[in-house]
Amino acid sequence: MKNKSIHFEFNKFTKKKIQSITSIREGETKIGEKLCYKIEDSKYVIIGISEDIGPQANMGIKGSLNAFKSFLSRFLNTQSNRFLNGEEIFIAGEIKQIEAFQNIIEAKKRIEILDDFVKSIAEPIIKSGKTLIVIGGGHNNAYPLIKASFHKSNKAIDVINLDPHADCRALEGRHSGNPFSYAKKNGFLNQYTVFGLHQQYNSESIYNYLDEKKFNYTFFEDYLDQKRNLKQDILNFVTSKKTEIALGIELDLDSIEMMPSSAFTPNGFSISEARIYLRELAKQKDILYIHLPEGSPQSEIENKIVGKTLTYLVIDFIKENLKFDNQSINV
């Protein structure tokens, strides 16, 4: 089945589709063999977004439309075992762009259409109480995810982000560089926290904006100089967060060193540190969504790097969140 706009479509995943990607091996059971096929039976719902007009409208490189495909084949073929069997997971489908990037002016118009389209897919999932996991596409899609989360209870949500860029650029038309400034302007975002900003890759006007809104941020250079500790900062965030406010979790693959991404960085957090970020944040209630954008693989080796990294991140989050929930129930 396909839901279509003029420029985008949503392809629902069937059991046949998932089985066609899962490699069966005697004596083993893969996660692709154990997924649930009814959304009501799941706790976690995965959707892919295969588009790259958002990053290109922000002068980034193309390729973020490839990340979900890279993830899917690796994720489905991981082992189902005592640590994670996969029965709690439902893969809803994939949002795909139908046409290629043309120019920045047209791209900004398309992104407004994409905003509405992503929100229409995400909102019923979030309202149903499932934790939504969104993979691929540009960081522009944070805006419709925050908007969809707001509409669950008509309350602005908190968002935390691991990112070298604050993505609070001017309200100059939608693109991957301004999802959080648009979300704040429209009343959907309460508190925004971003860890690991690269000092020289954010403008003075963005720092002024973050200060004006009293948003929380740290610099990657302070972790580099060992003035800060990422795990401790995450623990401090968790303990200080107001529990009555729901949370969206963002992890921009641009933050990971040498990761094929829309704004590639040769120096950043390690994959292990990105995993720690999600593993620690998973240990709390009221998480509405996690969003893993900006992976931009454009070769077979890059597909492996991005696909396996996304697989580690998704599995880490689900495993730790399940353990947290089970501990909460048993207390």
User: What CATH number is given to the structural domain containing 298?
Assistant: 3.40.800.10
Number of domains in the chain: 1
The arithmetic mean of pLDDT across residues 235-264, rounded, is 94
Place of tokens 């973050």: 210
pTM for the complete prediction? 0.96
Mean pLDDT over each residue of the chain, to the nearest integer = 95
Is the sign of the CA dihedral 176, 180, 185, 189 positive or negative?
positive
Return the bridge partners of 157, or none: 189
Q: How far is 27 from 31, CA to CA, in rounded Å? A: 14
pLDDT tens sequence across 184-209: 999 999 999 999 999 999 999 999 99
Residue 73 · residue 48 · CB < 8 Å: no
Question: Which of 32 and 7 is assigned the larger pLDDT?
Answer: 32
The arithmetic mean of pLDDT across residues 39-67, rounded, is 95
Domain holding 65, by residue range, is: 2-330
Say yes or no to pLDDT of 93 above 60.
yes
The arithmetic mean of pLDDT across residues 29-45, rounded, is 97
> Which two tokens mark 153?
């209870």
Say yes or no to pLDDT of 1 above 60.
no
Cα-Cα-Cα-Cα torsion 112, 203, 274, 259, nearest 10 degrees, comes to: 80
Say yes or no to pLDDT of 261 above 50.
yes
- 190 φ/ψ angles, rounded to the nearest 5 degrees: -90, -90
Residue 173 · residue 264 · CB < 8 Å: no
**Residue (of 138, 75, 93) closest to 314 by Cα position:** 75
Is the sign of the CA dihedral 218, 224, 228, 229 positive or negative?
positive
> Which two tokens mark 302?
């890059």
Query: Residue 329: what pLDDT?
Result: 59
Return the bridge partners of 104, or none: none
pLDDT tens sequence across 150-160: 999 999 999 99
Query: Residue 297: what pLDDT?
Result: 97
Say yes or no to pLDDT of 213 above 90.
yes
Cite the beta strand spans of 86-231 per DSSP E. Answer: 89-97, 131-135, 157-162, 189-197, 216-219
- 287-292 sheet: strands from edge to edge: 2-4, 8-12, 89-97, 44-50, 131-135, 287-292, 247-251, 157-162, 189-197, 216-219
Say yes or no to pLDDT of 256 above 70.
yes
Percent of the chain at pLDDT exceeding 70: 97
Say yes or no to pLDDT of 245 above 80.
yes
Q: How far is 252 from 325, CA to CA, in rounded Å? A: 26
Q: How far is 87 from 105, CA to CA, in rounded Å? A: 44
The arithmetic mean of pLDDT across residues 279-293, rounded, is 96
The arithmetic mean of pLDDT across residues 261-278, rounded, is 97
Helix (H, G, I), strand (E, B) or coil at 247: strand
3-class SS string, 119-174: HHHHHHHHHCCCEEEEECCCHHHHHHHHHHHHHHHCCCEEEEEECCCCCCCCCCCC
pLDDT tens sequence across 67-79: 999 999 999 999 9
Question: What are the Cα distances from residue 140, in Å, to 35, 116, 174, 186, 219?
Answer: 29, 12, 7, 15, 22
Amino acid, single-letter form, for residue 323: K
Query: Residue 102: what pLDDT?
Result: 86
Percent of the chain at pLDDT exceeding 90: 90
The arithmetic mean of pLDDT across residues 56-74, rounded, is 94
Query: Residue 327: what pLDDT?
Result: 73
